[in-house]
Every structure is written in structure tokens, then in C-alpha cells.
Amino acid sequence: MDQMPDYAKYTLDQLYDVHGHVDREKHPDRFQAVVGEIERRKSDPVLIEREEKAKADQREKEKYDTFWNRFWAGIIDGLLFLPLSYIDKFLFTAVSSHLILGIWSAFSSSAFIIYSVSMLTWRGQTIGKKLCHVKVCDISGGEMGLKQAVLRDLPAIINTLIYTSYSITNIDLFRQVHMGNPVPNLLPSWFWIISLFGFIWFLSEFLTMLTNSKRRALHDYIAGTVVIKNI
């Protein structure tokens, strides 16, 4: 004979689920036990309060459980700008005008940052975040502003300014890079140091996000923001 489950450990939702599925003719004792536990819960204000708190805690946890949503949102946003890399290669190998290449380089390298800051300021979502049902908001739960959007992307903005300034003033060098010549022999050592810093920053963001209940990355702490599910 199967042992009677300890229904006192079930949540109210779980009890209602069992109530709707248990065979009362085959298991009348279980059915009565479930009904009795439900009635006990509904008549005890302390148990009701405890049940509501457990539900609220679970909703709060799910609200900030955004890791994979953010991961796929980043993939989608990256794919949106992937064509720029192909245009880069084409222009730097086919166009000789330094003016045209300089203008394009400035646009190409800053396009994603402009997109991210403007979209987050406007809606709290990039296209990727909207498709993956997450939104960036102020830590208080309100809408974020331009200052927060800029602070959130500040390391990327600084990196972009350095890269853009260097590429505009070294058009011929970047032409060689796009033509497939060995990159380490062309770019200065400080360029690789900045790239290494970017990688370290990415790891710091990742580790920070995994060590707090609201899944706030380092840039969220800097900007006073948090990412929530927006379904």
C-alpha cells in the first residue's frame, strides 16, 4: 500500500492541483486528506499569510531570473549589426578615399553604442531584449533615463572612442588589417591591452551577475539599474 503523502508540506497551489487530479473513488483517504488540508489552510490566517509570502517570494525570484533571456538578447542584438563587419571589409578593400572611410569607420564603430543607449533611454529595451521579454529599469522599479543608459554602457563608450579615434587616424593600417595581413604585426601593444581589459570586464560582469539575487551585473551597479522579466 502506498504511503500517504505529507500534504502539510505542499503549497496551496499544489494541494489544489492534487485535489483536481486525485481519484476520489480509488483513493478516498487521500482525497479527504487533501480537502482537510485545504480547509485548514483557508481557515488559518497565519498559514494564509505564510502562503502568500511564499508566492510573493517566488514571483520576486522569477522576476529577476533573466540570465538566459539576456544571453539570447545579446545574441540577437549582435546579429542585427553583423552586416556592418562585411561592409567594413568591402569598403576598406574597395574604397581609397580616406574621408569616406573615416566617416564610415566613425559610424560603424559607434552604431551599436548609439543604438543601445537610445533604445534603453526610450523604452528600456533593445530589440533583442524586447524579443526575449526583458527590460532594464531603475533599481526602484521606475523608468531609466539617459544618464543611466550612458553609465550602463560607459566602458563600451570609452573603448569605442579610443578605437574610433585610432582607426580614423590610421586608415591605411586598418586597410591592411581588412586585407588579411597579420594583425599582431600591425596594431600597437596598447590596443591589445585594451582588448584584454574588455575581456576582463566581461568576466567581471558575468561573475557579478551570478552572485546576487537580482542578477545585477557590474554595469547595473554603476548605473543604478536592474533587468527584469517583462512578459
The answer for residues whose C-beta is within 8 angstroms of residue 226's C-beta and 6 or more apart is: 64, 136, 137, 138, 139, 214, 215, 216, 220
pLDDT of residue 183: 61
Q: What is the pLDDT along the chain (231 residues), one digit of tens a residue?
A: 467 777 777 877 788 888 888 877 788 888 888 888 888 877 777 777 777 787 777 788 889 999 999 999 999 999 999 999 899 889 988 888 999 999 999 999 999 999 999 999 999 999 999 999 999 999 998 999 999 999 999 988 998 898 888 888 888 887 877 777 666 566 778 878 888 888 899 899 989 998 898 999 999 999 999 999 986
pLDDT of residue 177: 76
pLDDT of residue 55: 76
Distances (CA, A) of 170 to 29, 34, 102: 82, 76, 9
Report the predicted TM-score, pTM, of the whole model to 2 decimal places: 0.75
For cell 539576456, the residue is: 70
